[in-house]
Amino acid sequence: MIALFRSIRDYFSLVKFSHTVFAMPFALIGFSLAVARPEFNLSIRLLLLVILCMIFARNTAMGFNRLADKDFDALNPRTRDREIPSGIISPRAAAVFVIINSILFILTTGFINRLTLYLSPVALLVIIGYSLTKRITSLCHFVLGLGLSLAPIGAYISVTGKFSLLPVIYSFIVLSWVSGFDIIYALQDDSFDKSNQLYSLPSATGRKKSLSISIFVHLITFVLVLTAGLYGKSGMLFWTGSIIFTLLLIYQHSIVRHDDLSKVTMAFSTTNGIASIIFSIFVILDLIIRSH
């Protein structure tokens, strides 16, 4: 039993399960946007299926990422203690983990509706493809953002079976927000990326310019949040959550400088995780109040 718990813990660590707080709250926003419509009702079964899809998709994406980057991770002092290069999880076991989760993802979408099933291979292609983009383009951060941006629109489609503009706006919020903070995260490996022919904005443009780009991308996030609020005719709770979300974006840029990366982890993980959770709570509460 202890060995089983250790194995589960190792796989949770492999995929950084705690980082689910980045996309999951926005999936719940997309789900809430759908059930707030008068023609749809809350279904616990459907909600659980959406959550399972998010878990299986993220496990697939992160597992494949760790597998694809295992040789680079072994060379990088920052990442050489990760599960695969350190030998805690074998490449074969990681590959089996990825295959199982991708199959479970597709099967789960089949229990939702026909459109989610048809779109599931496309979603897998995007979230898996990100892991390879660092070998070909400095815009890889935006591909990561694209992968996570599928959360709100995917959850919305799970309920309604169709696209709509408002959840698409939330998807663009996720795209710009994630891309912006991933640029900050990549600052830690600018020298390593450059010496190993890997692409990122910090390795291509330098730390100072990359931080400026990240700020600009997060300004776009701010504009998109305003757009979502105005288009959705949101109430006071939405705007309160938006203010907190924006202040946390500003905070993460205030604690990271091009010549001081000591607080990158706090900016990347802690601050953005809190921002995502708080924003989603306020948005969902606003939707609940206005739909009754």
* Three-state DSSP state, 257: strand
Number of folded domains that form the chain: 1
Q: What is the dihedral of CA 178, 179, 184, 185, to 10 degrees?
A: 70
Average pLDDT over residues 146-162: 96
Q: Is residue 12 part of a domain?
A: no
Q: Which token pair is 207?
A: 């730390």
Q: Is residue 4 part of a domain?
A: no
Residue 286: per-residue pLDDT: 97
Q: Residue 286's domain is classified under what CATH number? A: 1.10.357.140
Q: Is residue 163 part of a domain?
A: yes
220 CB contacts (<8 Å, ≥6 apart)?
176
Beta bridge partners of 9: none
Residue 277: per-residue pLDDT: 95
273 CB contacts (<8 Å, ≥6 apart)?
18, 19, 21, 22
Q: Is residue 16 part of a domain?
A: no
Structural domain harbouring 209: 21-290
Q: Is residue 5 part of a domain?
A: no
Q: Is residue 11 part of a domain?
A: no
Q: Is residue 77 part of a domain?
A: yes
pLDDT for 195-207, tens place per residue?
999 999 999 999 9
With contact defined as beta carbons under 8 Å apart, do 228 and 169 qualify? yes
Average pLDDT over residues 231-235: 96
Q: Is residue 8 part of a domain?
A: no
Helix extents (H) in 111-164: 114-133, 140-160
Average pLDDT over residues 247-266: 91
